[in-house]
A and B are shown apart, each in its own frame.
Chain A
Amino acid sequence: MEFITKEDLNGTKTPLYETHVKLGARMVNFAGWLMPVQYESILKEHETIRTLAGVFDISHMGEFIFEGPDVIPFLQYLMVNDLKLLEKSKGQYSCMCYENGTVVDDLVYYEESPERFRMIVNASNVEKDFQWINKQIGNFRVKVRDVSKERCRLAFQGPKSDDLIAPLVDTDLSTLNRFYFVFCNLCDVPAFIARTGYTGERGFEISFENKYAVTIWNAFMKTGAGAAGLGARDSLRLEACYCLYGHELTNSITPIEAGLNWLVKPKEGIDFIGKEVLIRQKKEGTSRILVGLNLLNRGIIRENYKLFKNGVEIGYVTSGGFSPTLKNTIGLALVETQYSSIGTEFDIEIRNKLLKAKVVPTPFYRNI
Chain B
Amino acid sequence: MDLKFPADLKYAPTHEWVRMDGDMATVGISDYAQHKLGDIVYVELPVIGAVLEKGNAACEIESVKAVSELFMPLTGEIVETNGNIADNPAFLNSSPYGEGWIMKIKVSNPDEIKNLLSVEKYQEMIQKEED
Contact = CB atoms under 8 A, between A and B. Distances in A.
Contacts of B71: 1
A3 B42 contact: no
A231 B64 contact: yes
B52 to A, nearest CB: 15
Given A231-B38, A302-B67, 18 more contacts: A1-B14, A1-B15, A1-B29, A1-B33, A1-B37, A1-B61, A1-B69, A2-B69, A3-B36, A3-B129, A26-B38, A38-B38, A43-B39, A43-B90, A299-B44, A300-B62, A300-B67, A351-B60
Q: Which of A26, A299, A322, A324 counts the most B-chain CB atoms under 10 A from its CB? A: A322
B68 A2 contact: yes
A298 B85 CA distance: 13
A96 interface: no
Contacts of A299: 42, 44, 62
A298 B67 CA distance: 14
A333 interface: no
B68 A43 contact: no
A49 B15 CA distance: 33
Contacts of A351: 60
Interface in A302-340: 302, 321-322, 324, 329
Interface of B: 14-16, 29, 33, 36-39, 41-42, 44, 60-62, 64-65, 67-71, 86, 90, 129
A113 B4 CA distance: 58
A42 interface: yes
Contacts of A321: 64
A300 B70 CA distance: 16
Interface residues of A, number: 20
A120 interface: no
A323 to B, nearest CB: 9
Interface of A: 1-3, 26, 37-38, 41-43, 231, 235, 298-300, 302, 321-322, 324, 329, 351
7 contacts: A1-B69, A1-B71, A3-B15, A41-B39, A43-B39, A43-B90, A231-B64
Q: Which of A43, A231, A299, A351 counts the most B-chain CB atoms under 10 A from its CB? A: A43
A26 B129 CA distance: 16
Contact of B65 (A2, A42, A298): A42
Contacts of A300: 41-42, 62, 67
A1 B41 CA distance: 16
Contacts of B65: 37, 42, 231
Q: Which of A1, A37, A351 counts the most B-chain CB atoms under 10 A from its CB? A: A1
Nearest to A37: B65
Nearest to A300: B62
Contact of B70 (A1, A3, A26, A298): A1
B5 to A, nearest CB: 16
Contacts of A3: 15, 33, 36, 129
Q: Which of B33, B62, B64 counts the most A-chain CB atoms under 10 A from its CB? A: B64
Nearest to A321: B64
A312 B14 CA distance: 37
